[in-house]
A and B are shown apart, each in its own frame.
Chain A
Amino acid sequence: MVPTSYYVALSAILFTLGVAGVLTRRNAIIIFMSVELMLNSANLVFVAFARQFMELSGQVFVFFVMTVAAAEVAVGLALIVAIFRTKKSINVDEVNQLKG
């Protein structure tokens, strides 16, 4: 059986990738994808520990996270579409009208 630490290490790598994507990319879609990557890395840790401790609540949490993430994606994509319609761009650096 694959030890739990492997899953945690993979999850950490995925999370770091997600953080790097959010911090470095300008494209809103890609930032969004990176956020999803971070969420899923967290899911991976949840299921890994659920299996180790034979505890069902970790797997339940994962379903919650996936549900909330789906809702979040729906709202986020709608916002991105709206931004794109007004600015013809989804570069987040250009979305700065509220800056004083």
Chain B
Amino acid sequence: MNHRRLLFLLGPGLAAVGLLAFPAVSWAAPLTSEGGEASGAGLFGLVPLIVLFPVVGLLINLFWGKQLGEVRVGILASGAAGLSFLIAVLQLVALQGNDYHAVTVPLADWIVIGDLVVPWAFQVDTLSVTMMLVVTGVGALIHVYAIGYEHDDVRHNGDPERFARFFVYLNLFLAAMLILVTGNNYLMMFVGWEGVGLCSYLLIGFWFEKGAGGVGNARAGRKAFVVNRVGDWAMLMALFLIFWMFRSLTFDEVFGTVERIRLDATGQAMITAITLLLLAGATGKSAQIPLHVWLPDAMAGPTPVSAFIHAATMVTAGIYMITRSNPLFALAPVSQNAVALVGGATALLAATIAVGQFDIKRVLAYSTISQLGFMVAAVGLGGYVAGMFHLVTHAFFKALLFLSAGSVIQAIERGHMAHEAGHAHGGGHADPHRSGHEQAPGHPPSAIGHAPPAASHPPSFDPQDMRNMGGLWSRLPVTKWVYVAGALALAGIAPFAGFWSKDEILLDAFKHSPAVYGMLTVAAFFTAFYMGRQVLMVFWGRPRTDATRHASESPWVMTIPLIVLAALSLFGGWFNLPAIAGYTPPGAHAMTEWLGHTLGGRGEEAAPAGAAAPAEEGPGEAAEIKEGELNFLVAGVSTGLALLAFFMAYLLYSKRPETREDDDPLYEMFGPLFGLLQNKWYIDELYDFLILRPYHWLARFSAEVIDGQLWHDWFHDQVVAGLFNLFTRLLADGVDKGFVDPVISDFPADLSQGIAGVFRRMQTGYVRSYALAVFVGVVGVLGYFLIAK
């Protein structure tokens, strides 16, 4: 007991000493500031702390998590995220003091082999600071929310011991994500890239023993990992090519070289290959076609994970990476077109699938894929600021929506518990019928025609199925408002943040590529429709199950982050307001100017080759980041479509479905088409047919025929073993018995035995005979001398 208490005090104490010592060290670290400003140098020196804080948090929780108890674990993890956010804000201040010039803060040399020098250095510029602010800011809020959410989640799933582990993973993710966005070279980015992939895998499989068949969640994690691996392979290939071509992986050096050299045909092909491979890497991490299939399954993870990793931060890494690589993409119009088309197609496809989903989190997952498609399309069209702007606002409102969905899910779980407790004898305590919760979270929706048994408490009760909800408007006083705020922001209704950022993307598409504009506009319509459908199915009408009837609001530790995020979703558009009809509101173009310090200097914003260059952009302006201007046609069309979609959703879903067995109204209208949407265009099945089945067949063929029959049975048993036996028999009978035994061993043995037999007789043991021998010898020697001489 005593030593445990000692540890208890020692751990945080040591951590505190480390935290105090570290700034002093990093303060003294030499800086290579391009601007050479002394004022910001001290603050820039703090940037390594942004990674250190989560690492310290996770180490403490890793070793003392179980002793600390839930509250301290949660506060520690959230505090680490909050301190990181503080560092990010200080970097913002430092950049302002440094006239927005980028600064590289070296920490250590990681790899030095010949030409290859990979430092662990922090790139502090407006782009990376934007990402730092989003990751740590939204991350800190989600950490706080998770304290409340996991408190219930670990109990619903029957293992309260796992509480600390969750926060260890969450802090680990935060550290990896910050390494990703702060690295000043492609390899450090890749380290973070892999790190977040690992954390994603760990957190999707957080309840690895749950899910369909007891392996559903583990399978989902594996799927995410393997699909990401495909993208990571492309990413690695891109890195190799970059090093081959530029002899460096550092952003500054690579992009500096790009500016200097004139490309020949080979160089052009190389750049195109590099950028296409980078795009393939982004499709993995950012869930774009064709590698988008992992993200919906990733919803098996606890809801804060879905919000943090699979909506707000990790999945945007691909957009960050493309934005960071904009000097490369500027030289590869083919790749830029590919990026834009992939983004547009993904936005449209995922938006249609979202319409057909019943799982509250899956709708949001497809929505996330769709919104990521918007961002990718934007960066593909050269609208890097628009893409980053949407990344930021999307982080706000999609985190908000996921967290609100988590709040809804737990409200229903609480209702389910309360209802079952009411049914137990005299409202007794813990209820044995908890099998339904064992499935949550991440119970995938059943196939079409899902008809739960008529029993009042079907064992497969799914708290995430929207058909089980309805009528929550009066029961969730806080969640309902923030949910609606998130939905309006996502659907792009002014003045919510999503309107401004999405409009900027649509405007870029409108100017540069009609095809992408068309896809994005239709996707925007579906976005509004599925969000209307979701809000109406969840909150409108009457409760469709007893659990929903007994639902109750979540605690303040969950709702306060929701309110903050809702405020950000409402006002996030102010980061980059466009000029409206010639009038420039205060704070307009803030983000454009801010990011322009990083993106503007490198001559991006070149229109893709496939799209006609807009007339108003003269050659002199091409190198400048353009400032947004509200285009009333584009904004009007998208807002009108969104309102129309809301209206159609209201017509369809405000009254229906009435019971949980009812079919979706769309199913009655479109039937098979809706089934197509519900089954995700059968893309999973297509991949199963095209890749998994042949792969399994090949694996089985390799194992059974090639390895088993050919290699093992024939080659090993027949050829190798047969030859071996033959050879050994030859050696044994011919060489060993025929030659070695008689000649090498028997003959010398017999010889020495014979000689020894002779000499043995002389060894009588009588002194006399020896004396005689000596005498004879002496006589012999004397005789020899006498006669010979």
Contact = CB atoms under 8 A, between A and B. Distances in A.
Is this pair of chains taken from one and the same complex? yes
Interface of A: 19, 22-24, 92-93, 96, 99
B765 A22 contact: no
A19 B775 contact: yes
B126 to A, nearest CB: 99
A99 to B, nearest CB: 4
A92 B767 contact: yes
Contacts, number: 15
Nearest to B765: A99
Contacts of B772: 23
A23 B765 contact: no
Contact of B771 (A23, A93, A96, A99): A23
Nearest to A93: B766
A96 B768 contact: no
Contacts of A24: 768
15 contacts: A19-B775, A22-B768, A22-B771, A23-B768, A23-B771, A23-B772, A23-B775, A24-B768, A92-B766, A92-B767, A92-B768, A93-B766, A96-B765, A96-B766, A99-B765
4 shortest interchain CB distances as A-B pairs: A99-B765, A96-B765, A23-B772, A23-B768
Given A22-B768, A23-B771, 13 more contacts: A19-B775, A22-B771, A23-B768, A23-B772, A23-B775, A24-B768, A92-B766, A92-B767, A92-B768, A93-B766, A96-B765, A96-B766, A99-B765
A22 B774 CA distance: 12
Contacts of A23: 768, 771-772, 775
Interface in B752-789: 765-768, 771-772, 775
A83 B684 CA distance: 106
Contacts of B766: 92-93, 96
B249 to A, nearest CB: 81
Interface in B486-524: none
Contacts of B768: 22-24, 92
Contacts of A93: 766
A87 to B, nearest CB: 15
A14 to B, nearest CB: 15
A93 B775 CA distance: 19
B647 to A, nearest CB: 119
B25 to A, nearest CB: 80
A46 B765 CA distance: 34
A57 B765 CA distance: 40
B105 to A, nearest CB: 87
A59 to B, nearest CB: 24
A24 B768 CA distance: 7
Nearest to B767: A92
A96 B766 CA distance: 8
Contacts of A92: 766-768
A93 B771 CA distance: 14
A22 B772 CA distance: 9
Nearest to A28: B767
A96 B769 CA distance: 13
A93 B767 CA distance: 8
Contacts of B765: 96, 99
Nearest to A26: B768
Nearest to B769: A23
B440 to A, nearest CB: 90
Nearest to A20: B775
Nearest to B772: A23
Nearest to A22: B771
Contacts of A19: 775
A93 B772 CA distance: 15
A92 B770 CA distance: 13
Nearest to B768: A23
B150 to A, nearest CB: 87
A57 to B, nearest CB: 22
A7 to B, nearest CB: 19
Nearest to A25: B768
Contacts of A22: 768, 771
A22 B766 CA distance: 12
A19 B782 CA distance: 16
A19 B766 CA distance: 15
A94 to B, nearest CB: 11
A24 B772 CA distance: 10
A29 to B, nearest CB: 14
A35 to B, nearest CB: 10
A97 to B, nearest CB: 10
A24 B767 CA distance: 11
Nearest to A98: B765
A8 B688 CA distance: 122
A96 B763 CA distance: 12
Q: Of A23, A92, A96, A99, which is in contact with the most chain B CB atoms at under 10 Å from its CB? A: A23
A92 B768 CA distance: 9
Contacts of A96: 765-766
A23 B772 CA distance: 6
A93 B768 CA distance: 9
A99 B775 CA distance: 22
A92 B769 CA distance: 12
Nearest to B775: A19
A47 B52 CA distance: 109
A26 B768 CA distance: 9
A30 to B, nearest CB: 12
A84 to B, nearest CB: 17
A24 B769 CA distance: 10
A23 B775 CA distance: 9
A34 B771 CA distance: 13
Nearest to B766: A93
A3 B378 CA distance: 141
A92 B766 CA distance: 8
A19 B765 CA distance: 19
A22 B770 CA distance: 11
B433 to A, nearest CB: 92
A33 B665 CA distance: 139
A99 B772 CA distance: 18
Interface string B541-575: 00000000000000000000000000000000000
B756 to A, nearest CB: 13
A93 B766 CA distance: 7
A99 B763 CA distance: 9
Contacts of B771: 22-23
A19 B772 CA distance: 9
Nearest to A96: B765
B783 to A, nearest CB: 14
Contacts of A99: 765
A67 B728 CA distance: 75
A28 B766 CA distance: 13
B775 to A, nearest CB: 6
A18 B333 CA distance: 124
A22 B771 CA distance: 8
A22 B775 CA distance: 11
Contacts of B775: 19, 23
Interface string B727-770: 00000000000000000000000000000000000000111100
B544 to A, nearest CB: 107
A27 to B, nearest CB: 12
Interface string B389-427: 000000000000000000000000000000000000000
Nearest to B779: A19
A24 B766 CA distance: 11
A96 B765 CA distance: 7
A21 to B, nearest CB: 11
Interface string B446-482: 0000000000000000000000000000000000000
B342 to A, nearest CB: 96
A99 B767 CA distance: 11
A22 B765 CA distance: 15
Q: Of B767, B771, B775, which is in contact with the most chain A CB atoms at under 10 Å from its CB? A: B767
Nearest to B778: A19
A18 to B, nearest CB: 11
